[in-house]
A = this chain, B = another copy of it.
Amino acid sequence: MEKLQNIRIAVDAIVFGYKSNGLYVLLIEQQFGSSEKYWALPGGLVKDDESLNDAVIRELHEETNVQLTFMEQLYTFGDDIHRDSRNRVISVAYYALVDASSLEIKASTDAERVQWFKIDEIPPLAFDHNLILKKGTERLKAKLTYEPIGFDLLPEEFLFSDLENLYCTILEKEIERRNFRKKILSFGIVEETENYSPIKTGRPAKLFRFNKLKYKELIEEGIHFEIKFA
C-alpha cells in the first residue's frame, strides 16, 4: 500500500510592468499568523480540479486586477524543502507582462495591499520569493533579446523612443538609437500608424504598432529575431 504524499503544490506569479522610469513588479502584502506582514508574489495553492495555468489566472484575478498580455511558466521551486516553514510546498512559478500604462490594480480581501515595486527597490519577500524574482528577471532579460516580448509591456501604439528606452532600462545597456531603429524596422514586424505622439518636445514622432500576425508569419518562414548589444 502506497503512503500518500504530504506535499502541497502552489503557483506564484511575477507580473512585470514597465513605466518610463523603470521596470516594476506587482507585489501583495500578506499577513502571517497574528502580526507579521510580508510582501510576496501573488499566488496560492492549486485546486484539485484546476490546471496550473487556471490557478495562476485565478490567483491573479483574486488578488489583483491586471490584464495580462503575456504569461509563461518560469521554473518550479522545490529543491529547498523548507522554503515554506510551515509545510512542504512546491511552487510552480510563472511570469507575466502587462501594459502598466493603462492599468488600475485593486486590493481585494485576500491581499491587504497591492503595489508596484521598482525592480531595484524590492523589499525582503516572503518564502523564497526574492529568489524566484531573481530568476524571473534574468529570464525576462534573456527573452527580450530573442523574442519580441517588449511590445507586451507597451501600449498598442508607442514611440520608437519608448521601445528603445524599454530595452535600455531592462537590459541595462546603452543602445545606438539609429541602429536600433534600423534593426527593428528591418524585421518588418513593426508598422507605423498615422498617429502622432502628443508629446510637445522636439520633432513630432509617429506612433508605431507591433504586428503580431506578421511576426508569426515570419517565424514560419524562419526569421530569427534577435536584439544584441555590445
Q: Determine the chain B residues whose CB is within 8 A of the CB of A5 once the complex forms.
A: 8-9, 45-48
> Would you call A120 an interface residue if the criterion is a C-beta within 8 Å of the partner chain's C-beta atoms?
no
> Would you call A196 an interface residue if the criterion is a C-beta within 8 Å of the partner chain's C-beta atoms?
no
Q: Determine the chain B residues whose CB is within 8 A of the CB of A50 once the complex forms.
A: 81
Q: Is the CB of B90 within 8 A of A52?
A: yes
> Would you call A73 an interface residue if the criterion is a C-beta within 8 Å of the partner chain's C-beta atoms?
yes
Q: Is the CB of B51 within 8 A of A81?
A: yes
Q: Determine the chain B residues whose CB is within 8 A of the CB of A52 once the complex forms.
A: 76, 78-79, 90
Interface residues of A in 72-108 (CB under 8 A from B): 73, 75-76, 78-81, 88, 90, 92
- With both beta carbons as reference points, the residue of chain B lying nearest to A224 in the complex is identified as B228
> Would you call A49 an interface residue if the criterion is a C-beta within 8 Å of the partner chain's C-beta atoms?
yes
Q: Given that A9-B5, A9-B7, A9-B9 are contacting pairs, would A78 and B92 also be in contact in the complex, using a CB cutoff of 8 Å?
A: yes
Please report the C-alpha to C-alpha distance between residue A53 and residue B75 in the assembled complex, in whole angstroms.
13
Report the minimal beta-carbon distance from A59 to chain B, rounded to whole angstroms: 14
Please report the C-alpha to C-alpha distance between residue A90 and residue B52 in the assembled complex, in whole angstroms.
9
Report the minimal beta-carbon distance from A95 to chain B, rounded to whole angstroms: 14
> Would you call A21 an interface residue if the criterion is a C-beta within 8 Å of the partner chain's C-beta atoms?
no
- With both beta carbons as reference points, the residue of chain B lying nearest to A2 in the complex is identified as B45
- With both beta carbons as reference points, the residue of chain B lying nearest to A75 in the complex is identified as B73
Report the minimal beta-carbon distance from A26 to chain B, rounded to whole angstroms: 22
Q: Determine the chain B residues whose CB is within 8 A of the CB of A53 once the complex forms.
A: 79
Q: Determine the chain B residues whose CB is within 8 A of the CB of A90 once the complex forms.
A: 9, 46, 52, 92
- With both beta carbons as reference points, the residue of chain B lying nearest to A5 in the complex is identified as B8
Q: Determine the chain B residues whose CB is within 8 A of the CB of A8 once the complex forms.
A: 5
Further pairs besides A51-B78, A51-B79, A73-B76: 10, Cβ < 8 Å: A5-B46, A9-B9, A9-B78, A46-B90, A50-B81, A51-B81, A52-B76, A53-B79, A73-B75, A224-B228
